[in-house]
């Protein structure tokens, strides 16, 4: 068990390392002078030189990587060109809205999609199953910002139930905080619900075909217990896996959703940084999101031990 | 004849009975309603894209200061490139420059379809090359697949945004930037297919006959990967259309003078509260197009690649 833990932890290191190298190379392998690209069209030679100097772009590429990676290991992502602040500090300030949005979305998506998927598998081929599959294709196809505007128009403008845009910190009061997050989280959860419901249905369907389900029914267990305790419990591993993989979708969605609902989180920071051509910030945010994604999937892998007692590492 | 032998024949006959009737690939595709529905919608969209100039549109870049912010269905004036004033019915209203939303949406179909199709082709081309290499040259496999794992660990949209920001936004850079994060998935698929197919007797036979490696890769292995690749390509196309719209919408995609659905929505979002039509019409076209491609992909998967259909 502990050797597995150690091995699994060690295995994530190469992935993180490759991510770091890729993010580093993104700028360096761009055709043309990276310093000039960063400085923008309006910059003069002096400004370009200053950027070249500050990023060490005039040194050999391996030395550049060494310096950059050394800083990264000591938790230094460099300084933003645009905000004139440490990138780590910027990320820290924007963390609360993004984590709140992502957590609420995940909570909502899991609570809704798992029962839907189980129900569809239970009534496989029936009208509910077909409706859910239809909804799932729709969920993958309707762009999150189109859905966002549709919901703003209907829920906020026509019905006036929820605020149109904006964000309030948890410190401003829980209800105010929640009220501003409900619509964005609902918007963002649709694609996630589609994904998780689909996989839940497929894996519960597979479990329902097993002999132990027939046995459980034959010995007169209530159907709900058969579904939850026997079918769902045995289908848990693929469901948790897809929740982990779906975090990539969630991160992509955060960038768009925060933009539409004017939430000052990491997604918004990404877009602002790109518009300002603030490359240290872009690099920092990409690294942060990718590391978070890898670590969440590491936790997912570790959770298998608890979900499936047969798995002994 | 002894009993086990008989059993073998019985098994054979049961299998033969289950096949029932031979259908060509084309007949099976035709029977699938998702292929028909998605395919028909897509053909209609291609026709719209090709016939854009003859569908009652004007040049999408034309504007008229007198026709700003018209509601859908209003008649107004529009100035042609020659400077003449033209009476024009604004079917979907006009934007804050006085441009015709309908014409922009119709011409936007071209951009979306081109981006979607070319993204799929670029991702498939690179994915096939890398996947064949990884599956066939085993010494390269380890390092290549680790790099692919690394790319897959970075959320797709962030790669696309960063690459477009660096390369500058044009049609070709946007297409490549959207294709890059899709490449690992294609590579993995091709690699796993190659690993299965290279164990088949006909490949062993080809190796034994001394067929050159390249000829085995492209002549014997690649043709057997086509069905799953078509399915994968369809989903990449749908995703490419979506991501292009997201990039344009966020203001980091194609330049604003190109009429794309994302650009129209980006311009419309400023005055969304008073004039929601600027956002809704391109949004509906975008959603319907992506839906059509996804439905087509589902249908193709169920008919061409039943093994994959069972997986999810």
pLDDT by residue (tens digit) across B155-171? 889 999 888 888 888 89
pLDDT at B114 over 90: yes
Residue-averaged pLDDT of chain B: 81
Model pLDDT, residue A3? 77
* Residues of B contacting chain A (CB within 8 angstroms): 146-147, 149-151, 153-159, 161-167, 238, 242, 245-246, 249-252, 265, 269, 272-273, 276, 279-280, 283-284, 286-287, 290-291, 294-295, 298, 311-312
3 state DSSP class of B32: coil
Residues of chain A found within 8 Å of residue B276, distances taken between Cβ atoms: 149, 153
Whether A285 and B280 lie within 8 Å, measured CB to CB: no
Model pLDDT, residue A145? 87
Model pLDDT, residue A197? 93
Model pLDDT, residue A57? 72
Whether A143 and B238 lie within 8 Å, measured CB to CB: no
What torsion do the CA atoms of B301, B287, B238, B147 make, to the nearest 10 degrees? -120
Whether B280 and A150 lie within 8 Å, measured CB to CB: yes
What torsion do the CA atoms of B231, B35, B238, A293 make, to the nearest 10 degrees? -60
Q: Which of A237, A252, A149, A241 is nearest to A191 (CA)?
A: A252
User: From the list B149, B290, B312, which residue is nearest A199 (CB)?
Assistant: B312
pLDDT at B3 over 60: no
Question: Tokens 């899991």 correspond to what residue?
Answer: A110
Q: What angle do CA B141, B146, B147 make, to 5 degrees?
A: 105
pLDDT at B6 over 50: no
* Average confidence (pLDDT) over B224-235: 88
- The segment with the largest mean pLDDT, out of A255-264, B57-66, B67-76, B119-128, is B119-128
* Average confidence (pLDDT) over B269-279: 78
Question: Tokens 């797709």 correspond to what residue?
Answer: B156
**Which of these ranges, A137-146, A213-222, B25-34, B227-236, has the smallest mean pLDDT?**
B25-34
Which of B153, B167, B237 to probe by mutation at the A interface, max A CB count within 10 Å? B153
For the record, the structure tokens of A139 come out as 């969920």
A133-168 burial, b for 16+ CB within 10 Å, e for fewer? bebbbbbbbbbbbbbbbbbbbebbeeeeebbbeebb
Percent of chain B predicted with pLDDT > 90 = 21
Dihedral sign computed on CA atoms, order A53, A57, A63, A68: positive
Residue numbers of A between 1 and 20 with CB closer than 8 Å to B: 14-16, 18-19
Question: With contact defined as beta carbons under 8 Å apart, do B174 and B246 qualify?
Answer: no
The DSSP line for A43-108 is --HHHHHHHHHHHTTTS-HHHHHHHHHHHHHTT---B-TTT-SBHHHHHHHHHHHHHHHHHHHHHH
Give the β-pairing of B74-79 and B85-90: antiparallel
Q: How sure is the predictor about B18, in pLDDT bands with cuts at 50, 70 and 90? A: very low
Model pLDDT, residue B2? 43
Q: How many of the other CB atoms lie within 10 Å of CB of B103?
A: 26
Bigger pLDDT: B199 vs A114 = A114
Q: How sure is the predictor about B1, in pLDDT bands with cuts at 50, 70 and 90? A: very low
State in Å, rounded, how far the first CA of chain A is from the last one.
5
Q: What angle do CA B197, B203, B208 make, to 5 degrees?
A: 150
Q: How sure is the predictor about B176, in pLDDT bands with cuts at 50, 70 and 90? A: very high
Question: With contact defined as beta carbons under 8 Å apart, do A285 and A82 qualify?
Answer: no
Q: How sure is the predictor about B5, in pLDDT bands with cuts at 50, 70 and 90? A: very low
- The segment with the largest mean pLDDT, out of A35-44, B118-127, B267-276, is B118-127
- List, for chain A, all residue ranges whose pLDDT scores fall below the cut of 50: none
Model pLDDT, residue B312? 43
């Amino acid at each position: 068990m502990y050797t597995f833990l150690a091995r699994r932890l060690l295995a994530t290191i190469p992935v993180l390392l490759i991510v770091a190298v890729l993010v580093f190379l993104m700028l360096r392998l761009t055709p043309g002078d990276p310093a000039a690209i960063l400085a923008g069209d309006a910059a003069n030679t002096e400004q370009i030189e200053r950027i070249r100097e500050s990023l060490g772009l005039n040194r050999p590429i391996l030395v550049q990587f060494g310096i950059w990676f050394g800083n990264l290991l000591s938790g230094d992502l460099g300084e933003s060109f645009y905000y004139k602040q440490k990138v780590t500090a910027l990320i820290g300030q924007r963390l609360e809205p993004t984590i709140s949005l992502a957590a609420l979305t995940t909570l909502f998506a899991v609570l809704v999609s798992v029962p839907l998927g189980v129900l569809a598998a239970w009534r496989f081929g029936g009208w509910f199953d077909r409706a859910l599959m239809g909804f799932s294709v729709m969920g993958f196809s309707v762009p999150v910002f189109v859905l966002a505007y549709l919901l703003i128009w209907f829920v906020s403008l026509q019905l006036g139930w929820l605020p149109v845009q904006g964000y309030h910190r948890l410190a401003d009061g829980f209800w105010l905080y929640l009220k501003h997050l409900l619509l964005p989280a609902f918007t963002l959860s649709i694609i996630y619900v589609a994904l998780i419901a689909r996989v839940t249905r497929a894996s519960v369907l597979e479990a329902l075909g097993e002999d132990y389900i027939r046995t459980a029914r034959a010995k007169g267990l209530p159907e709900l217990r058969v579904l939850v305790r026997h079918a769902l419990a045995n289908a848990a591993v693929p469901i948790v896996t897809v929740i982990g993989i779906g975090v990539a979708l969630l991160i992509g969605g955060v960038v768009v959703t925060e933009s539409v609902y004017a939430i000052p989180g990491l997604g918004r920071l990404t877009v602002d940084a790109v518009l300002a051509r603030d490359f240290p910030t872009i690099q920092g945010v990409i690294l942060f999101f990718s590391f978070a994604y890898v670590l969440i999937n590491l936790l997912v892998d570790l959770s298998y031990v608890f979900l499936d007692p047969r798995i002994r590492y | 004849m002894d009993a086990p032998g008989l059993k073998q024949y019985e098994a054979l006959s049961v299998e033969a009975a289950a096949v029932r009737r031979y259908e060509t690939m084309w007949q099976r595709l035709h029977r699938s309603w998702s292929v028909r529905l998605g395919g028909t919608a897509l053909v209609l969209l291609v026709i719209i894209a090709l016939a854009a100039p003859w569908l009652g549109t004007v040049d999408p870049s034309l504007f008229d200061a007198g026709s700003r912010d018209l509601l859908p269905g209003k008649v107004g004036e529009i100035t042609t490139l020659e400077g003449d004033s033209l009476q024009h019915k604004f079917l979907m209203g006009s934007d804050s420059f006085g441009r015709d939303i309908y014409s922009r949406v119709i011409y936007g179909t071209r951009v979306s379809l081109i981006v979607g199709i070319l993204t799929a082709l670029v991702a498939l081309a690179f994915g096939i090359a890398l996947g064949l290499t990884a599956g066939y040259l085993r010494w390269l496999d380890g390092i290549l697949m680790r790099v692919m794992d690394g790319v897959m660990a970075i959320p797709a949209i962030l790669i696309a945004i960063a690459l477009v920001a660096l390369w500058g936004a044009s049609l070709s850079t946007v297409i490549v930037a959207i294709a890059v994060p899709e490449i690992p998935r294609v590579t993995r698929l091709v690699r796993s297919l190659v690993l299965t197919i290279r164990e088949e007797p006909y490949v062993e036979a080809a190796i034994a006959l001394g067929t050159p490696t390249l000829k085995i890769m492209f002549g014997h292995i690649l043709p057997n990967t086509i069905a799953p690749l078509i399915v994968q390509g369809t989903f990449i196309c749908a995703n490419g259309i979506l991501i292009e719209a997201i990039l344009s919408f966020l203001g980091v995609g194609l330049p604003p003078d190109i009429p794309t659905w994302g650009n129209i929505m980006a311009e419309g979002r400023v005055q969304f509260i008073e004039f929601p039509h600027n956002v809704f019409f391109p949004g509906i076209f975008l959603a319907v197009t992506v839906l059509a491609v996804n439905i087509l992909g589902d249908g193709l998967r169920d008919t061409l690649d039943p093994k994959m259909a069972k997986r999810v």
